[in-house]
């Protein structure tokens, strides 16, 4: 909704900050009014009960654990039953189906990704000037390794809202998977600055991107922060173990591997990093995990 830059002499930091704050407030007030007016003209307001269900679902979140993902989908499905034209609800369902597929919470990941893509496209058709559907579609296309199409979808979401932290985070994930690791770390760092409470998968992507840049201390720091904050997301043990191994900290790496085996007993080393377009990236990740003892 807002993006700009400021030029001036930094003679009084507090006055300069006040100037920036006033300009942001004025711009946001104008933009919010314009956008809300346009939404009321273009799209009817959602069913109040459906809107409440979406708020409850957002409070739960959909990527923390299998149980929360199921609760999230139940609430969103009820919202869509009440209001089939609720674009944001369909985009949220697409994101939840994506999480099911990539986090191993379903026996049929390809089927759930296909369902998610269909819901994302419905969201785009219902709200073509909203970023939610494009963002969800980009995520799903990335999981299907359709890199160019994923880039197009996420670019559109960022064009609509350049300050959308989730879209920037997904852009970072797309960049990482398609081979631009430097671009990935830049986008993911910016996304986390805009929203420090982003979902754990984006923090995980940043840790892996640091690792692939051979910034092993940074990778270990971010992975450990993720393990401390998101106890239900055991995959942080992957970059933590690989980075610790590359730093020569064998005992520390072994502890992360043991935690990973306990929490994700069927992890296939050969499939680790399979989303990377550049085979050297997946190979380097596997190299670190082998050195850690996996």
| The pLDDT of residue 157 | 93
Q: What is the dihedral of CA 262, 267, 270, 271, to 10 degrees?
A: -150
Question: What is the CATH architecture of 163-294?
Answer: Alpha Horseshoe (1.25)
Tally Cβ neighbours within 10 Å of residue 82. Answer: 17
| The pLDDT of residue 28 | 65
77 or 36: which leads in pLDDT: 77
4 or 19: which leads in pLDDT: 19
pLDDT of 116 > 90? The answer is yes
Domains of the chain: which residue ranges?
A: 32-162, 163-294
| The pLDDT of residue 271 | 74
Burial of 55 (0-12, 13-18, 19+ CB in 10 A): exposed
Radius of gyration of the chain measured on its C-alpha atoms: 20
> Rounded mean pLDDT of 259-269?
82
Q: If pLDDT is split at 50, 70 and 90, which confidence band does 39 have?
A: low
Task: Give the span between the Cα atoms of 131 and 76, in whole angstroms.
Answer: 18
Q: Do 32-162 and 163-294 have matching folds?
A: yes
> What would the pLDDT profile of 178-215 be if each residue is shown by its tens digit?
889 999 999 999 998 888 888 888 999 999 999 999 99
| The pLDDT of residue 222 | 96
| The pLDDT of residue 3 | 61
| The pLDDT of residue 4 | 65
> What would the pLDDT profile of 136-182 be if each residue is shown by its tens digit?
999 899 889 899 999 999 999 999 988 888 899 999 999 998 889 99
Task: Give the span between the Cα atoms of 83 and 90, in whole angstroms.
Answer: 10
Task: Give the span between the Cα atoms of 115 and 169, in whole angstroms.
Answer: 22
> From start to end of the chain, where are the E strands?
none
Tally Cβ neighbours within 10 Å of residue 30. Answer: 12
45 or 146: which leads in pLDDT: 146
Q: Which two tokens stand for residue 245?
A: 């191994």
Task: Supply the mean pLDDT for the chain.
Answer: 87
Residue pair 177/208 in contact by the 8 Å Cβ criterion: no
pLDDT of 30 > 60? The answer is no
CATH topology of domain 32-162: 1.25.40
Output the pTM of the full model. Answer: 0.75
> Rounded mean pLDDT of 131-138?
94
| The pLDDT of residue 65 | 77
Q: What is the dihedral of CA 117, 119, 124, 125, to 10 degrees?
A: 120
57: CB partners within 8 A, 6+ apart: 71, 72, 75, 76, 79, 92
Q: If pLDDT is split at 50, 70 and 90, which confidence band does 34 have?
A: low
| The pLDDT of residue 194 | 85
């Amino acid at each position: 909704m807002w993006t700009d830059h400021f030029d001036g002499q930094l003679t009084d930091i507090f006055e300069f900050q006040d100037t920036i704050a006033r300009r942001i407030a004025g711009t946001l007030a104008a933009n919010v009014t314009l956008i809300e007016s346009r939404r009321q003209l273009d799209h009817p307001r959602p069913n109040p009960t459906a809107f409440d269900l979406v708020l409850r679902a957002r409070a739960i979140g959909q990527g923390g654990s299998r149980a929360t993902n199921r609760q999230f989908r139940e609430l969103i499905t009820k919202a869509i039953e009440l209001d089939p034209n609720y674009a944001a609800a369909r985009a949220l369902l697409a994101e939840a189906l994506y999480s099911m597929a990539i986090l191993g919470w379903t026996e049929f990941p390809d089927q759930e990704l296909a369902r998610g893509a269909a819901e994302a496209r419905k969201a785009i058709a219902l709200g073509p000037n909203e970023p939610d559907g494009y963002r969800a579609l980009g995520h799903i296309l990335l999981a299907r390794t359709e890199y160019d199409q994923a880039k197009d979808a996420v670019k559109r979401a960022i064009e609509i809202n350049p300050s959308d932290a989730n879209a920037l985070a997904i852009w970072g994930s797309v960049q990482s998977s398609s081979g631009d690791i430097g671009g990935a770390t830049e986008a993911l760092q910016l996304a986390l600055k805009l929203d420090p409470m982003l979902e754990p998968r984006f923090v995980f992507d940043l840790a892996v991107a640091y690792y692939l840049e051979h910034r092993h201390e940074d990778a270990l720091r971010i992975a450990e922060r993720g393990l401390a904050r998101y106890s239900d997301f055991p995959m942080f043990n992957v970059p933590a173990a690989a980075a610790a191994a590359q730093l020569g900290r064998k005992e520390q790496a072994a502890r992360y591997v043991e935690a990973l085996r306990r929490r994700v007993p069927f992890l296939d080393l050969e499939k680790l990093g399979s989303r990377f377009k550049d085979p050297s990236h997946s190979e380097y990740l596997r190299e670190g995990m082998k050195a850690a003892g996996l």
